[in-house]
């Protein structure tokens, strides 16, 4: 039976803004390092080696998921801290993505807040 629950407009607004902000930051990178494409709640990052990193909106869980290689993180919005934080307390979304990019590109990447 399909999920007929209405989507949370606050989640959609926040998650879209988050993914748009990350896309804007990645647009400044050299396309020989990475290319990022955001559509329909999915932000796909393709690296020069052909590997991918994917962020996607999971409306049913009100989360943003990040997958890179064999690793995955689930982020929920924390209103008190005004940000997206890993549900297993491993950190904030942009900081973790910055660590992934740092490792993949071999230079320090800070996506800010």
pLDDT tens for 54-64 read 999 999 999 99
CA-CA distance, 88 to 42, in Å (whole number)? 22
Considering its fold, how many domains does the chain have in total? Answer: 1
- DSSP character for 107? S
pLDDT tens for 31-90 read 999 999 999 999 999 999 999 999 999 999 999 999 998 999 999 999 999 999 999 999
CATH classification at residue 82: 3.30.920.10
Q: Are 92 and 85 in contact (CB under 8 A)?
A: yes
Confidence of residue 7 (pLDDT cuts 50, 70, 90): confident
3 belongs to a structural domain: no
How many CA atoms lie within 13 Å of 70's alpha carbon, on the beta-carbon side? 0
- Whether pTM > 0.95 for this model: the answer is no
User: What are the strands of the beta sheet with 52-58, ordered from one edge?
Assistant: 34-39, 42-47, 52-58, 63-68, 71-78, 83-86
Tell me what pLDDT residue 4 has: 47
4 belongs to a structural domain: no
Q: Which residues make Cβ contacts (< 8 Å) with residue 92, sequence separation at least 6?
A: 83, 84, 85, 86, 113
Confidence of residue 6 (pLDDT cuts 50, 70, 90): low
CA-CA distance, 79 to 99, in Å (whole number)? 23
Domain extent at residue 76: 9-105
Tell me what pLDDT residue 113 has: 59
């Amino acid at each position: 039976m399909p999920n007929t629950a209405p989507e949370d407009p606050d989640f959609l607004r926040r998650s879209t803004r988050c993914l748009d902000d990350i896309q804007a930051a990645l647009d400044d990178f050299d396309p020989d390092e990475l290319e990022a494409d955001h559509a329909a709640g999915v932000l796909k990052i393709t690296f020069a080696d052909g590997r991918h990193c994917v962020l996607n909106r999971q409306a049913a869980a009100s989360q943003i998921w990040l997958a890179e290689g064999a690793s995955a993180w689930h982020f929920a919005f924390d209103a008190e801290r005004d940000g997206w934080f890993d549900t297993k307390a491993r950190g904030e979304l942009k900081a973790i993505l910055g660590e992934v990019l740092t490792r993949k590109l071999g230079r320090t990447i800070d996506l800010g807040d």
